[in-house]
Structure 1
Amino acid sequence: MKKQLKVLAIGAGWRGSNSRSLFSGFTKLGCDIRVIETDGYFYNYTIPERLYMKVRKLPFKAKFQKFNKTIERTIDSYQPDILFVVKGLWVTEEIIQYAKSKGITTIHFHPDFLFDDRYHTSQILDKAILAYDIVVTAKTTEVEKYKQFGCQYVHFMKYAYDPDIHHPIKLTNQEIPIFKTDVAFVGRMELPRADALNEIAEANYDLKVWGTKWDKIPKSYKLNRFCEGRPIFCEEMAKVFQGAKVSVGFLTTLSTEQHTARTFEIPACGGFFLGTRTAEHMDIFKQGVEADFFSSKEELVEKVAFYTRNEDMRSKIAQKGYDKVIKMDATYESRVKEILVFSEIELSNGVLLR
């Protein structure tokens, strides 16, 4: 008897999150998927909750227990084949072991750093991670660290773009003043990023910076004039990349990062990608043909100067970058296929072949 693959997914459910895009990938493959969203449990903490977490390193006990009990009850009622957890800061080891006792394959994907960025982990996750059957990471440097920590089956996969969100969008006349600019950056503030972008601001380029923590940069920075003061997501982000002559792709300084989701999202939106020079970036795109790269803030400013003046070359590179990510099928659906292959789960139109 044919059996549709059933997936119980745990993670953020807001549109534009890589967790939701991964969950959508399962759906597009024909799987039966049920999602327990973490948004309602663990976002928008009250001040008392924040103080409690700072001391106890846990959310309020009632909320934490309710969350894990919901997972347990859903395992019993839904009887999934896979428990797929994205980030899972508050999913306990006991829940993972309970799922495994039911014959469920447990898979964990962390979109951030588990070992080098302690903001994106928890004592609960540190303990639970060893219980998962399979661990998936998009960070090359994390693979060996997971194995040294004791995780036996670790799969590296690249980030992706979501074609339902990341695609070229023609700006309206009303949108052009909002999104049209020489240079754009979307992401969290880190001081090296602020220093580099301030050099661009000082060189008198039109600049738009979207994201969080940009109110923390030095007050003396000219860059302050160009910070939009909010994060941006989904189609609005696509419009940012469409409207900018150059979209900068910084990597974090918290660890040795090689590429990010922006690596694929910017070209998929038809934007010109100017990213940090790494081995992975140069393996994905031909330098000066499908994207371009920089290794210092001086080189970044030089490349900005060159490409803002050379529209024809910039447009050709952006088009070839777009063609490349389409040809690569660098989508979340494709990444889910990779995970299933690594897990030795064979599917055809969502139906298990074994």
Structure 2
Amino acid sequence: MKKQLKVLAVGAGWRGSNSKSLFNGFSKLGCDVRIIETDGYFYNYSIPERLYMKVRKVPLKVKFQKFNKTIERTIDSYRPDILFVVKGLWVTEAIIQYAKLRGITTIHFHPDFLFDDRYHTSLILDKAILSYDMVVTAKTTEVEKYKQYGCRNVHFMKYAYDPDIHHPVQLSAAEKRGFQTDVAFVGRMEPPRADALNSLAKENYDLKVWGTKWDKIPKNYELNKYCEGRPIFCEEMAKVFQGAKVSVGFLTQLSAEQHTARTFEIPACRGFFLGTRTEEHVEIFKPGVEADFFGSTEELAEKVAFYTRNDELRARIAQKGYEKVIKLDATYENRVKGILDFAEIVQSGSDRLVLR
């Protein structure tokens, strides 16, 4: 009889997060999964806590210690085969070593940039990352940087979509009023993104912009009237992609990013994906057939003008893009299978899980 893999998963537990979808991927593959959510320990900081973190570079000691002690105690009681940590900013090196001494395979996935975006790392993670048996990244440019930093086993994994969340939906009459638009964007504000979208706003397109930091754009931007003032998740995000004629997929300027989760989420909702032109994007989707791409603000404006006027072509491309992500099986379940394959972790009853 095959042994059921036991996975202790540590990360954000809210529905729609990369981590939660990955944890569900383990479950769908037949693993027994126990989750320690970081949500309850971190992220909802008071002003005093934020000041403390700014000076000490770690959360309050009581939270920090309780969090790591919880992981330690769960390791002892649950005895997992795998410790899978997503964005382990506050998981200490000592905890990783504690797990490894008990024969547990340790894996870390960082959904953001560890090296090029210092906002998404910590001194704790900088030290602990070297102790993991395996690290996973969805950022092409990070692979070699992990290796140069000293990480032994680095696995590149493309982002994915969650079929339980990202799928075509039927909009009600009220939802059409709330979500139908010419152009939509879901993501955080970065100045180049704001400038490009403001150019479209000046052309009197109907826009809807969802995400964080958009209150920071210049007050004189036309774009201000199109910012929804909040992030959007799960089924609501699917409705955004379904309701927009064009869903724009910007990439961050923090590094040479090649694709993001939106690359798969938008087509999975049968939305029309107009993304930044990169080698990976062009490898995934045939330009003008399954999606389309732009390389400048001027080209973005040209493509928006063209596709908002050509309903039949736009619908055909959106359908082809949807069919492509289904064919690719670009799901989190499939990504987890890739992680397990890379780590040579097989559900065959082996007492010791061995990395290549």
Output the TM-score relative to the length of structure 2.
0.98
Aligned length: 352
Question: What's the secondary structure of 1:40's corresponding residue?
Answer: coil
**Equivalent in the alignment of 1:123:** 123
Cα deviation, 1:278-327, whole Å, max 9, x if unaligned, reads: 00000000000000000000000000000000001000000000000000
Q: Give the corresponding residue for 2:62.
A: 62
Deviation at 1:346, TM superposition (A): 1.6
SS in 1 for 2:301: helix
Aligned position for 2:226: 226
Cα deviations by residue, 1:46-90 (Å, 9 ceiling, x for unpaired): 010000000000000010000000000000000000000000000
Helix, strand or coil: the match of 1:158? coil
User: CA–CA distance in 1 between the matches of 2:347 and 2:224?
Assistant: 51
* SS of residue matched to 2:107: strand
Structure 1 residue ranges without an equivalent (≥5):
none
Could you list the runs of 5+ residues in structure 2 that have no partner in the other structure?
Answer: none
Give the corresponding residue for 2:203.
Answer: 203
CA distance in 2, matches of 1:347, 1:69: 29
Given that 1:5 and 1:352 are in contact with CA atoms closer than 8 Å, whether structure 2 keeps it comes out as: no
What does the per-residue CA deviation read over 1:224-266, in whole Å, with 9 as the maximum and x for residues that have no partner? 0100000000000000000000000000001110000000000
Q: Please say if 1:38 is aligned against 2:38.
A: yes
Report whether the alignment pairs 1:169 with 2:159. Answer: no
Q: Which amino acid aligns with 1:304?
A: V
Shift of 1:339: 0.1
Distance 1:248 1:52 in 2: 38
Query: Contact between 2:268 and 2:325, CA under 8 Å: does it hold in 1?
Result: yes
Is the contact between residue 4 and residue 352 of structure 1 (CA under 8 Å) also seen in structure 2? Answer: no
Structure 2 counterpart of 1:104: 104
Q: Secondary structure at the match of 2:313?
A: helix
1:16 is matched with 16
**C-alpha separation in 2, matches of 1:94 and 1:129:** 11
Matches within 5 A, 1:128-207: 128-207=128-207
- Aligned counterpart, 1:257: 257
What SS does the corresponding residue of 1:106 show, helix, strand or coil?
Answer: strand
In the alignment, the residues of structure 2 paired with residue 352 and residue 199 of structure 1 have an alpha-carbon distance, to the nearest angstrom, of: 58
Distance 2:246 2:304 in 1: 7
1:345 aligns with 2:351: no
1-side partners of 2:103 and 2:146: how far apart? 24
Q: Distance in 2 between matches of 1:16 and 1:161?
A: 10
SS state at 1:168 partner: coil
Query: What does 1:320-331 correspond to in 2, within 5 Å?
Result: 320-331=320-331
How far 1:352 sits from its partner (Å)?
A: 6.2
Distance 1:251 1:62 in 2: 37
Find the counterpart in structure 2 of residue 2 from structure 1.
2
* Distance in 2 of aligned mates of 1:243 and 1:293: 20
**Residue 301, structure 1, aligned to residue 312, structure 2:** no
Secondary structure of the residue that 1:85 maps to in structure 2? strand
Question: Alignment identity in percent?
Answer: 82
Once the two structures are superposed, what CA deviation does each residue of 1:139-158 show, in whole Å capped at 9, x if it has no partner? 00000000000001000010
Moved over 4 A (4+): 351-354
Distance apart, 1:2 and its partner CA: 3.3
**How many Å apart are 1:120 and its aligned residue?**
0.3
Distance (Å, rounded) in 1 between the aligned partners of 2:168 and 2:14 = 21
Distance 2:302 2:224 in 1: 22
> Could you state the TM-score of these two structures normalised by the residue count of structure 1?
0.98
Secondary structure, aligned partner of 1:347: coil
How has the CA–CA distance of structure 1 residues 203 and 65 changed in structure 2, closer, same or farther, with 3 Å as cutoff?
A: same
Do the aligned residues in 2 keep the contact of 1:9 with 1:33 (CA within 8 Å)? yes
- Per-residue Cα deviation, 1:11-41 (whole angstroms, up to 9, x for no partner): 0000000000000000000100000000000
Counterpart AA for 1:344 = E
In structure 2, distance between residues paired with 1:71 and 1:228? 38
Retained in 1: the 8 A contact 2:3–2:347?
A: no
